Amino acid sequence: MTDLFSPAKLGTIELANRVLMAPMTRSRAADDGTPTPMMLDYYRQRASAGLIIAEGTYPSENGKGYCRTPGIVNQKQIDAWGDITEAVHREGGKIVLQIMHCGRCSHADNKSPTAETVAPSAIAADGEVYTEQGMKPFSMPRALRGEEIAQVIEEYRQATENSFAANFDGVELHGTSGYLPAQFLSPGSNQREDGYGGSLENRIRFVDEVLRAMSGVQGSDKVGLRICPGFPFNDVKDPNPQETFEALLERIQPMGLAYLHLMRASPLDVYALGHEFFKGPLVLNGGYDLRSANKAIQERGATAVSFATSYIANPDLVNRLAKELPLNDVREELLYTNTVEGYSDYPVYDG
C-alpha cells in the first residue's frame, strides 16, 4: 500500500519517501544574505526527508524582505548554497530552493542601502515587519514601471539558473503569504491599468510569465509552485480567491510543472481546488500528522505531504513517524534568533 514511506516522483525529482520538509524562514543567514555554516548543519541533519524545500530566498536585492534571510544573487551566496546541497546529497537527500520576492512586504532597514521596495502599485501593506531595531510598519513601495516588470521576471529566471549552479534538484516559486506574485494576483494590491492589472486575465499574467521564465532554465518538470488561495497574511485582499486561482491554475496547467504545493490556511478547500484544476503531483501542507498524512495520500490522491513545525524540532522526523516515536517540542522563543540553539541542536531519538 502506498503511504508516506513509499517512493515517489515530482517531475524529474525522485523521492525516497513522501515526507517533505516545508520551506521555513529561520533568519540564520549572514547580514549580506550568504548562507552560514549553521544552515549547512541544519539542512544536512534533515536530509532523510524525501525532499527538502529550502527556505524562501531572495532573487534580487529589491526582493529581500526580512533581516538575515538568504539570497541567491551573487557568487558568494551560490557557493555557500552549493556547500549545503553537497552536504544534503552526500547524505542521500534531495533539495529544492524556494525563490521568494517579498515585494511590498519589507522595510528599508532590512535591505541593502541601494535597494528599493517595489510592488505592482504604490500601496503599502497594512502591518509591521521585524527589523533589528524592532517592529516597524511596512515601507511604502514604488510601483513598478511597465518595462521593469520584464526585469523582475528576468531576476526570477536568473535566480533559477543560479540555483541549478548551486546544484539544487529543482526550484519552487513562492506564490503565497502576500509576496510579489500574490500582490499581482490580488486586486487589493494590484491597481495597475496596463497589461498586468485590472482584469483577472491581466492579474494572473505575472505569475504565468515568471513560471515560464523559470521553466526555461532546465525544464518545467524541475519547477514547483506554492499557493494558498484565500490566505489573508500580509494584507492580501481578494474578494474572490476561488475565481482567481481557478483562472491561474487553468492558465499554467499545460506547462507540466513538477508539483503544486498547497498550503491549508484559509476557509477554502485548497485541495479540492488543486485537484480539479491541476493535473500534476499535489503536495499538501498544513497541520498534518502521520495518520492524516497517510489518509491524504491513500484517499485523496496527494503525492506527498510537507511538514513544517515538526521538522524544526525533529531532524529525524522520517524515522520518528515511521516508528511512531514521540516528537521533540519546538522552542518557539528561538525560532528566529541568530543562534545554533533552537535551530541545529535538536536531538535525534535515542531510545
Asked whether residue 311 is assigned to any structural domain, the reply reads yes
Look at the chain and report how many structural domains it folds into.
1
Q: What is the pLDDT of residues 310-351, one digit of tens each?
A: 999 999 999 999 999 999 999 999 999 999 999 999 999 997
* Alpha carbon distance 325, 69 (integer Å): 32
- Residue 146 covered by a domain: yes
pLDDT confidence of residue 351: 76
Q: Which of 66, 179, 259, 288 is catalytic?
A: 179
Q: Is 1 among the domain residues?
A: no
CB 261 within 8 A of CB 306: yes
343, part of any domain? no
82-99 per-position pLDDT tens digit: 999 999 999 999 999 999
pTM for the whole thing? 0.98
Is 350 within the bounds of a domain? Answer: no
Q: Where in the sequence is the domain holding 173, given as residue range(s)?
A: 8-334
Place of cell 476557509: 267
Pair 125, 107: CB distance under 8 Å: no
Residue 266: predicted pLDDT? 84
Whole-angstrom Cα Rg for the chain? 19
Dist CA 270 CA 300 (whole Å): 12
Residue 14: which region, alpha, beta or left (left: phi > 0; alpha: psi -120 to 50)?
beta
CATH number at residue 65: 3.20.20.70
> Is there a domain that residue 342 lies in?
no
Q: What is the pLDDT of residue 265?
A: 86
DSSP-derived pairing of the beta strands 259-263 and 282-285? parallel
Instruction: Evaluate whether residue 339 is within a structural domain.
Output: no
CA 190 from chain center: how many Å?
A: 21
The low-confidence residues of the chain, meaning pLDDT below 70, are none
DSSP-derived secondary structure letter, 96: E
* Catalytic status, residue 179: yes
